[in-house]
Amino acid sequence: MAVPKRKISKSRRGMRRSHDKLGQPHFQEDATTGELVRRHHVDLKTGMYKGKQIVEPKGDL
């Protein structure tokens, strides 16, 4: 069984983990509605993606 020869310092451990963080999702303004939507995702409110009707829009709640 592998056992570390030396203790990993908190600084070195933190430097290794610095790339594990989650990034913020990217949004852009929809050309037709003007709302912020996630890129490369179908807008569930209107059912549109890249100017085409993909799914039936959800009704107003």
pLDDT of residue 13: 96
Q: Which residues contact 57 (CB under 8 A, 6 or more apart)?
A: 44, 45, 46, 47
Q: Is the pTM of this model over 0.85?
A: no
DSSP state of 36: E
The 10s digit of each residue's pLDDT in 6-61 is 999 999 999 999 999 999 989 988 877 788 888 898 888 888 888 889 888 876 54
Phi, psi of 30, deg, nearest 5:
-75, 135
Q: What is the DSSP string of 8-33?
A: PPHHHHHHHHGGGPPPPPPEEE-TTT
Domain ranges of the chain: 25-52
